[in-house]
Amino acid sequence: MDSSIRRKEVRPGNPPDGGYGWFVLLSTFLVFGLTFGVIKAFGVFYVEIHRYFATTATGTSWITSIAVATVHIGAPVGAALSARFSHRAVVMLGGALSSVGMIAGAYAQNLVQLYVTVGFLSGLGYALTWTPTVTMLGRYFEKRRPMANGLASAGECMITFLVTPLFQLLVDCYSWRGAMLILGGLELNLCGGAEPGRRATPGRRVLRYVDYTLVKNGRFVVYSLFGVFAALGFFAPALFLVPYARSRGVQEYQAAALMSISAASDLTGRVACGWLANLRLVETARLLTVTVTVLGTVLLLCPLATSFPALAGFSAAYGLAFGATVSIHITVLADVVGVAQLGSALGFFMLIRSSGGLLGPPIAGVFIDKMSDYGTGFLMAGVALIVSALFLLLLHQMNRREERTAKTCRLPRDYEKGGGDWEKEDRE
């Protein structure tokens, strides 16, 4: 390996916790906003597409669910490609694919074409941009990792806050097709989020990102199961919030404003919970259990909100709990597997979680179609999140058991260092 390249490499064992890492954080902030932020704001397009093609809630929801699932399934691909080539090249390719998918979707003549363009192409582009940048962020921060993850993920809610009312305005002025064309141009900014990565020999780098030994890690498997059930409830509420408000007689711009309220509260939750996790006063996995449980409970209460003031209160509570949850779930993953395996673990975690992201919105759509009530979709999401919290409780028990085992193994060594005599103590 060239010595000049070696000097630029950031090794997992010695993250700078600052310096150039702040620029990596800024690029990750942008990527979060133009990927998951856009997915959350897509509820504005959902209403128009649902009307234009005169389809069911289930049929329309597949657009978002395919995009979410492709992000998750494509995560290992993004990790492996960035290992083989470079983070910058892969992120720029992802930005171009995201833009092409949105622009092509503006000319779709049926839902299937939207599934392929907005769902698959844009989703694959998101995977190629999101995974490498999040992995790089984890390698630049250690002591400040919870705060760094919280600040970076805040890009999702900031973009959601800004673009949801903008999307509604663009739809009113240019129809959903014209608005989607403009969104395609906006997605090109993902290419600007590309940052240079840490280089090694191609063979070694690919093997590091595709670490199959993770399937033998019981704690990682349990955490991945948490991810599956959490994903069932993560994405449906954001998709159906605007339609639910419209079905309760809320005006279109007020309905769009609910997503902005949620996004503002989401930002507060991410920063506050990231700061709290950074203090290490509470085990991060235990803190995540609390936030997930609160989020599920809030969603279960959603059908009680039937007016704009009540929905505004729900949106604020939902955003706060959601932001607190997503700001630390990657930190918990790093705690489970360690920084050295974070890139591979993130890819596998996203791949396993993809089933929940794919099925969540359509399952909620089935309940909505059967009951003719968008509120049932929130109930489904709430139950899924409560179930996911049970796996976090199991992870907590596994952590405690591992700590007790490690402590037991250390006792004989500590006694020997102190000059003790085990046989003499036994005789006494």
Q: Can you give the residue ranges of every domain in the chain? A: 15-407
Amino acid symbol at 357? G
Is 265 in contact with 396 (CB distance < 8 Å)?
A: no
> CA–CA separation, 209 vs 135, rounded Å?
10
> CA–CA separation, 420 vs 346, rounded Å?
45
- pLDDT at residue 428, as a whole number: 45
0.85 exceeded by pTM? no
Is 47 in contact with 168 (CB distance < 8 Å)?
A: no
> CA–CA separation, 364 vs 374, rounded Å?
8
> CA–CA separation, 89 vs 96, rounded Å?
11
- Cα torsion 111, 112, 118, 123: sign: positive
> CA–CA separation, 320 vs 291, rounded Å?
9
- pLDDT at residue 115, as a whole number: 96
Q: Six-digit token pair at 337? A: 């597997």
- pLDDT at residue 317, as a whole number: 96
Residues in the chain, total: 428
Is 90 in contact with 132 (CB distance < 8 Å)?
A: yes
Neighbours of 204 (CB within 10 A): 11
Q: What are phi and psi of 117, to 5 degrees?
A: -80, -70
Report the CATH superfamily, name and number, of domain 15-407: MFS general substrate transporter like domains (1.20.1250.20)
Q: What are phi and psi of 106, to 5 degrees?
A: -65, -20
Find the DSSP H helices in 280-421. Answer: 284-300, 308-326, 329-337, 342-371, 375-417
> CA–CA separation, 415 vs 35, rounded Å?
54
Residue 110: exposure state from Cβ atoms within 10 A (0-12, 13-18, ≥19) = exposed
Residue 182: exposure state from Cβ atoms within 10 A (0-12, 13-18, ≥19) = middle
Q: Which of 258, 234, 235, 237 has the alpha carbon at shortest distance from 246? A: 258
> CA–CA separation, 41 vs 270, rounded Å?
18
Contacts of 183 (CB under 8 A, 6+ apart): 38, 102, 167
Q: What are phi and psi of 194, to 5 degrees?
A: -70, 130
> CA–CA separation, 115 vs 65, rounded Å?
9
Tell how far CA 320 is from the center of its chain.
15
Task: Kindly provide the b/e burial profile for residues 334-355, where b requires at least 16 CB atoms within 10 angstroms of the residue's own CB.
Answer: bbbbebebbbbbbbbbbbbbbb
- Cα torsion 353, 358, 360, 363: sign: negative
> CA–CA separation, 425 vs 428, rounded Å?
5
Neighbours of 251 (CB within 10 A): 11
Is 70 in contact with 78 (CB distance < 8 Å)?
A: no
- pLDDT at residue 1, as a whole number: 42
pLDDT 10s per residue in the chain (428 long)?
444 444 344 444 566 666 777 888 888 898 988 998 898 888 889 889 999 999 888 899 999 989 988 988 887 788 778 878 888 888 899 999 999 999 999 999 999 999 999 999 999 999 999 888 887 887 788 777 777 877 887 888 888 888 888 999 999 999 999 999 999 999 998 887 666 557 444 444 544 555 677 878 889 999 999 999 999 998 888 889 999 999 999 998 999 899 899 999 988 988 888 788 878 788 888 999 999 999 999 999 999 999 999 999 999 999 999 989 988 888 888 888 887 777 678 778 888 888 888 888 899 999 999 998 999 999 999 999 999 999 999 998 888 888 777 777 765 555 555 555 444 444 44
Q: Which of 246, 184, 258 has the alpha carbon at shortest distance from 46? A: 246
